[in-house]
Amino acid sequence: METLDINAIRETLPHRYPMLLVDRVLELEPGVRIKAIKNVTINEPFFPGHFPHYPVMPGVLIVEALAQASAIVAYRADPAAMGGRKLFLFAGIDDARFKRQVVPGDTLVLESTFLKGMRDIAKYAVRATVDGQLACEATLLSVLRPAPGAD
């Protein structure tokens, strides 16, 4: 079981501030599953414009954080894809449900489990929780494609 700090995450994912939404990996089985966290702070760049008087993390960014966690599962299983040499792209989002608001001060626990795949297409069961309460769950479909200009 691996753990990753922010430096290892930055070596794995091509995302950078303000779009890097995974702060630490608590558990990782490359190609199988991940448990990671996103610390949600009032300093997030989206809060000033997303309900300024009642800051709530946008659902689409919760799903993006889950996709980034899933990408770590894929990239760490294929080191030749890491660091932006291949792009982990959405191919579909099914059965997304939001059950709890995510607000500043929350620690969002991101979990993703590889379900099945063929060639560069994969399916993941994902869920995000706060204090053990379900915030979001979905099934994500992804495709791994060479990045333009990557070696």
Edge-to-edge strand list for the sheet holding 2-4? 2-4, 24-29, 33-39, 107-118, 121-130, 133-146, 86-98
> Which pLDDT tens digit goes with each residue over 23-48?
999 999 999 999 999 999 999 999 99
pTM: 0.96
Q: Strand pairing partners for 87?
A: 145
Q: What is the pLDDT of residue 126?
A: 98
Name the CATH superfamily, with its identifier, for domain 2-146: Hotdog Thioesterase (3.10.129.10)
The pair of structure tokens assigned to 31 is 């190609």
Among this protein's residues, is 50 annotated catalytic?
Answer: yes
Greatest alpha-carbon span in the chain: 46
Q: Is the dihedral of CA 81, 84, 36, 98 positive or negative?
A: negative
* pLDDT tops 80 at residue 150: no
Catalytic residue among 50, 85, 100, 127: 50
* pLDDT tops 80 at residue 151: no
> Which pLDDT tens digit goes with each residue over 132-149?
999 999 999 999 999 887
Q: What is the pLDDT of residue 16?
A: 95
> Which pLDDT tens digit goes with each residue over 59-96?
999 999 999 999 999 999 998 888 888 999 999 999 99
d(CA 71, CA 116): 14
Mean pLDDT of the chain: 95
Q: What is the pLDDT of residue 82?
A: 81
The pair of structure tokens assigned to 16 is 């950078």
